[in-house]
């Protein structure tokens, strides 16, 4: 059986309790027809708009990560963090690419290795922004 917190004393009580056994205050109950849960207790699947998915898929090719998150939740900071990180990684990728074309062989090899490392980090950030847009917060390791 799940537990919930008493609003009065902060004690954890069983979810089917009407009052807190410590302070005897009434504990609020979840409504039976909650829109987040279906009749069998499972969460309903989240609907994501097609525009948000397109904004998460297409703009990363030009350095704009997180636009799908900003479209879905404009007041949350997470999308703006993805946008700033994407721009901070995309500009050095372009600079390294053009530097690599004009440098000697040994320098080009070193710059290519650095370019690959930054590109892999950028691709993983773009994938994280896409997954966050489609599925919502999957891992709550880093909170923004």
State how far the Cα of 90 lies from the Cα of 94, in Å rounded to an integer.
6
Instruction: Report, as an integer, the average pLDDT of 36-49.
Output: 54
Residue from 32, 10, 30, 33 nearest 18 by CA:
30
pLDDT for the residue numbered 36:
46
pLDDT above 50 (res 86): yes
Does the predicted model carry a pTM greater than 0.85?
no
Confidence category of residue 12, pLDDT binned at 50, 70, 90: confident
Angle at which helices 105-135 and 50-57 cross, to 10°: 170
């Amino acid at each position: 059986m799940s537990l919930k917190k008493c609003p009065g004393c902060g004690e954890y009580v069983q979810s089917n309790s009407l009052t807190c056994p410590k302070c005897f205050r009434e504990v609020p109950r979840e409504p039976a027809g909650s829109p987040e849960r279906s009749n069998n207790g499972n969460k309903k699947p989240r609907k994501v708009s097609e525009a948000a998915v397109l904004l998460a898929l297409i703009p990363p090719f030009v350095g704009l990560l997180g636009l799908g998150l900003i479209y879905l939740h404009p007041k949350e900071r997470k999308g703006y963090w993805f946008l700033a990180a994407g721009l901070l990684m995309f500009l050095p990728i372009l600079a390294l690419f053009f530097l690599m074309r004009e440098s000697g062989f040994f320098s080009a090899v070193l710059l290519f290795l650095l370019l690959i490392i930054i590109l892999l980090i950028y691709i993983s950030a773009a994938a994280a922004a896409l997954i966050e847009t489609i599925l919502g917060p999957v891992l709550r390791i880093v909170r923004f």
